[in-house]
Structure formats: C-alpha cells, structure tokens
C-alpha cells in the first residue's frame, strides 16, 4: 500500500509571529533544534516559512554597520518565504515529491481540511529512502559523503555563511594550509551572531566547534555510538593510518540513523 504524507510528516508544528525579529527567530530555531519555523499572522494563519538558511543569508548581507542596523530591524514576515506551499496529509507521498520538485522548495506545510497539522521536508524523504535501502551497509566508507565543503581558519564568518547558503550545506569543515582538520562551523554556530549582530571581524576559527573523526573502516555502530555520546550530527572520515591527511569524507546522522532504527536492521537484533 502506497504511503501517505501523514505517514512521513513531523506532527510538531513550531511557529513564530510575523513580527518576530531575526534574533528572536534565531533563539527559537536554536532552542527547538529545528531548521525552519512556520510564520503566523495575528489571526494565527500560516503566511510563510523562515529557515536557518534565511538567517544565514541575512547575516552575510549585513556587511557594514548601516546594513547590519537594517537587518536587525527586519522581521520574520520580511525575510520569510511566501506563499506557503502545502499538501494535504492524506495524499500519496509521490504527490508531495512532485510538489517539492516543481516548487523547488525544501519543505511543505501539511494540512488536514486546510488546517496546518505538520511539516514534511527533504530530510523526511531522505530517511524514508534509507529505510527502503536493502544494500549492504557495513562500514563508514559504505555510506559517507565524498564531497566536503571546506574553508581556512581565517575565513570571515560572513564568507562561510555565504558559501553554505550557495551550496545548500549546513556546515563547513575548517582546515589548515595542509588540509589538517581544525574544526567545523555549522549553521547553529552562526545563529548567535545573527541574534546579537556582533560578527564584524569574526573569522571561522572564532566560532568553530571541535571536529570528531572516525576511521573509514569503522563500523556504522561505532559511528552511531560516537555521534550519540557526543551529541554530534556528523563525523569527519579519516584514514587512521594517516589521521592528519586531508579528510576522506563526512558521515552524518542521516546516513545511518534510519537504517539503525529499522526493526530488522542488524543493530536491533539481539
């Protein structure tokens, strides 16, 4: 039986008011550990969606004191994406996929009889694909991403934000001149600077968090354990025989959590 939108959506709908400042939006995104908020008008109607990428774009547009002052006064209503693209909860997932492709958006508001009940995003579809994957997935090297977005430690955070926005990535790896990993900068690391507007002169070395590495031959169980124990969503993949060499890739929670959660997965069997 074909799956419906309601089978995959996230029912928790986190909203903000249309007059919320970008700093307030940043706090809500950070505190709720989400990538986007539904923007409601005074009557509680969904009028748009504002995401962490919208805030990143706002950050690097604030390149001088004058533009920063303007950006700090902007509200969610002024930076949000609108109109809100939506899909009914009882429709087949294939129709939601078609809408995402046609509209070129990352998430859809899910409604029942026109009333908002949840969100379905690209991440939800990624997880659903992983659940259906039957191929052998034994080691980190089997599932890691070979493509990596990197920058140097002296890179301005506005430049890193611009690169992340343009590439559609949520983090950037910080390396030295020889390619040795120094740390990682994620969208969440940058949110505090959107909130207080104090990022002039800041470079990625000032805001990065330590990178956690894992050997390319390690098992997915080892990778998952390391993520869970350290509350990290991604690990830098290296060759333990040459740990200071340029990294081989990145493995994220999206790559393994869905597989591990399956009742018939090797991680659930006793």
Q: So where are the chain's domains?
A: 5-131, 140-261
Q: What is the mean pLDDT of residues 77-84?
A: 87
Domain 140-261 has CATH 3.40.470.10: no
Q: What per-residue confidence (pLDDT) applies to 134? A: 46
For the chain, what is the mean pLDDT? 81
Between CA 61 and CA 58 the distance in angstroms is 5
pLDDT of 261 > 80? The answer is: no
- Distance (Å) of CA 238 to CA 86, 220, 229, 256: 41, 14, 19, 18
- Name the band, by pLDDT with cuts 50, 70 and 90, for residue 252: confident
Rounded percentage of the chain residues whose pLDDT exceeds 70: 83
Question: What value does the mean pLDDT take over residues 213-241?
Answer: 86
- 5-131 CATH fold: CBS-domain (3.10.580)
The string of pLDDT tens digits covering residues 100-148 is 888 888 888 898 988 888 888 877 776 665 555 445 567 888 888 888 8
| 3-state secondary structure (DSSP) of residue 142 | helix
- What does pTM read for this prediction? 0.49
State the Cα–Cα distance between residues 236 and 180, nearest whole angstrom. 11
Task: Say what the pLDDT of residue 267 is.
Answer: 46
Residue 137's pLDDT is 63
Residues with Cβ within 8 Å of residue 270, at least 6 apart in sequence = none
**37-71 tens-digit pLDDT:** 999 998 888 899 998 878 776 665 666 777 777 77
- Confidence band of 17 (pLDDT split at 50, 70, 90): very high
List the helix and strand counts (H, then E) for the chain.
Answer: 13, 12
The answer to whether the 5-131 and 140-261 domains have the same CATH topology is yes
The distance from CA 211 to its chain's CA centroid, rounded to whole angstroms, is 17
Q: Is pLDDT larger for residue 253 or for residue 94? A: 94
Integer Cα distance of 136 and 144 in angstroms: 13
């Amino acid at each position: 039986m074909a799956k419906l939108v309601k089978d995959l959506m996230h029912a928790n709908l986190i909203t903000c008011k249309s007059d919320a400042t970008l700093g307030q939006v940043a706090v809500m995104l950070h505190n709720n550990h989400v990538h986007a908020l539904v923007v409601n008008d005074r009557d509680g109607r969904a009028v748009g969606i504002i995401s962490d990428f919208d805030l990143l774009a706002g950050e690097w547009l604030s390149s001088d004191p004058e533009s920063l002052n303007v950006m700090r006064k902007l509200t969610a209503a002024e930076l949000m994406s609108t109109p809100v693209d939506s899909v009914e909860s009882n429709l087949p997932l294939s129709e939601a996929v078609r809408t995402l492709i046609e509209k070129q958006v990352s998430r859809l508001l899910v409604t029942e009889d026109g009333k908002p009940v949840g969100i379905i995003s690209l991440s939800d579809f990624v997880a659903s694909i992983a659940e259906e994957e039957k191929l052998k997935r034994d080691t980190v090297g089997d599932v890691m991403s070979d493509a990596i977005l990197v920058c140097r430690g002296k890179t301005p955070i506005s430049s890193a934000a611009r690169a992340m926005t343009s590439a559609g990535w949520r983090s950037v790896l910080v390396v030295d001149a020889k390619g040795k990993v120094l740390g990682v900068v994620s969208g969440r690391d940058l949110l505090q600077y959107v909130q207080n507007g104090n990022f002039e002169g800041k470079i990625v070395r000032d805001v990065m968090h330590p990178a956690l590495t894992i050997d390319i031959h390690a098992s997915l169980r080892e990778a998952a354990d390391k993520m869970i124990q350290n509350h990290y969503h991604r690990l830098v993949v290296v060759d333990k025989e040459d740990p200071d060499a340029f990294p081989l890739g990145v493995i994220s929670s999206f790559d393994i959590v869905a597989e591990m959660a399956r009742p018939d997965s090797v991680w659930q069997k006793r």
